[in-house]
Structure 1
């Protein structure tokens, strides 16, 4: 399990074509991708299972907890991204609600595009 950030603070200012905005790069795939939006309501859970392909979860609203195969939970919030390798066991849950975008594709390497890798994940007590 790897942690990244894609919040405003990790963005790069774009001014080309008279533009004025920030962009945080996320991923480039070399193969087809499945992209979905998941809405977890209060006390929602994406149950403990193995990833069928490499996948990255982008938290866009709310907060929750994730765990990998070691059963240690880590807090995540809007602007955080979590990457799991193919076959890696994982789970996502929330108390108050969470919205996330998931991208699943072979050959993804988020460290090539995403900045602000979290140095120390926020472990849940």
Structure 2
């Protein structure tokens, strides 16, 4: 067994797409998906951009306001996740800061979740 501290994952700052206070670190990869640790500082954002593949943002700590193709914001609490389809424009904002795990790529999710906008059909 190995224990991984998410705070110890090497990170790099991302400023693309008008992002503010956003850094990420690669936790691992498979042939089909990337596992990434994301942090966004208080008042920061991951700017609007298209998902490279199916993307799941799992909020671990903090607060997140996410939006998909239509730009309508939805608040997430720790333990909740947002899913975006390949190519779907999306963004994430935070008031107090957040840490999240992002899984992106060819991933089939067991739980169907619920649709919050007509773009994810």
TM-score by length of 1: 0.64
Tell me what 2:38 maps to.
Answer: 38
Q: CA 1:98–1:86 in structure 2 vs 1: closer, same or farther (change >3 Å)?
A: same
Which residue number corresponds to residue 65 of structure 2? 65
**Structure 1: tracts of 5 or more residues without a match:** 1-29
Which of the pair is proportionally richer in strand? 2
1:95-115: CA deviations, max 9, x gaps? 101110000112x222x2x37
Q: Which residue does 1:109 correspond to in 2? A: 108
Larger radius of gyration: 1
- Indicate conservation of the 8 Å contact 1:31/1:105, yes or no: no
* Cα deviation, residue 71, structure 1: 1.2
Distance 1:105-1:45 versus aligned 2 partners, 3 A rule: same
2:78: which partner in 1? 78
Question: Does the CA-based 8 Å contact 1:53-1:87 persist in structure 2?
Answer: yes
Cα distance per residue 1:45-74 (max 9 Å; x no partner): 110000011110000001120001111000
Where does residue 96 of structure 1 map in the other structure?
Answer: 96
Q: CA RMSD in A?
A: 2.1
Query: Given the two structures, how large is their TM-score scaled by the length of structure 2?
Result: 0.66
2:55, 2:64 → 1: CA distance? Answer: 18
Flag the structure with more relative contact order, 1 or 2, with Cα contacts below 8 A and sequence separation at least 6. Answer: 1
**Preserved CA contact (<8 Å) 2:55 2:83:** yes
Are 2:52 and 2:105, in contact at CA under 8 Å, matched by a contact in 1?
no
Task: Give secondary structure in 2 for the equivalent of 1:78.
Answer: coil
Maintained 8 Å contact 1:60/1:79: yes
